[in-house]
Amino acid sequence: MDADTAATLAAIGPRLRRLRTGRGLTLEAASGLAGLSTSTLSRIETGRRQPTLDVLLPLARAYAVSLDDLIAAPQTGDPRVHLEARRLLAGGVAVPLTRHPGGVQVFKHVLGPRDPGLTTHEGHAWIYVLAGRLRLLLGDAEHLLDPGENVEFDARTPHWFGPADQLSVEILHLFGPEGQRPITRDVS
């Protein structure tokens, strides 16, 4: 095994421990989520056992991270990020900025004029207006947001958002599964 591969494998255990403790999980709780024995997870975290794919896949699911993020293998090939825009059925374009299955998803949306249609679903949403003016229908209330303003809401509340006028609006849209809420830190 070459030195780069050995270093990558050696870093997985400590990374797993940081993920587990960062989520406030005990070894028992984390191993239960992943369907592993506590001793297996302990041995991997301490470097006494080399991680294998059949152990890493359930851990990636349990910690809601991609396998690439879990392993943090060295970059190969083209280091640029290639964002893939997706055309939305309701109009506009969304560019996914994160790849964390089961975790908070971040999108940049460019939305053109469209008809309002309220929707509901599980989860929590945060929206930050980059450019243009956003019209947000939230329950029975209507809100107009300008660049630099943001809003958060429970996605089970009937909602719709789009441009406030006949121009497009550009937003960052964060969506978290049920139970994930923002943590605001005052750094002053």
pLDDT at 76 over 70: no
Q: What residue ranges do the domains of the chain occupy?
A: 3-71, 86-176
CATH placement of domain 3-71: 1.10.260.40
Mean pLDDT within 110-133? 91
Going by C-beta distance under 8 Å and a sequence separation of 6 or more, which residues neighbour residue 67? 56, 57, 60
Tell me the pLDDT band of 181, cut-offs 50, 70 and 90: low
What is the pairing mode between strands 169-176 and 124-131? Answer: antiparallel
Per DSSP, the three-state class of 138 is: strand
State the Cα–Cα distance between residues 91 and 114, nearest whole angstrom.
7
Asked whether the whole model's pTM tops 0.85, one would answer no
The one-letter code for the residue type at 29 is A
CATH placement of domain 86-176: 2.60.120.10
Residue pair 113/162 in contact (Cβ under 8 Å)? The answer is yes
Dihedral over alpha carbons 20, 26, 29, 33 (to 10 degrees): 10
Q: What is the pLDDT of residues 14-60, one digit of tens each?
A: 989 988 888 888 999 999 999 999 999 999 999 999 888 899 999 88
Length of the chain measured in residues = 188
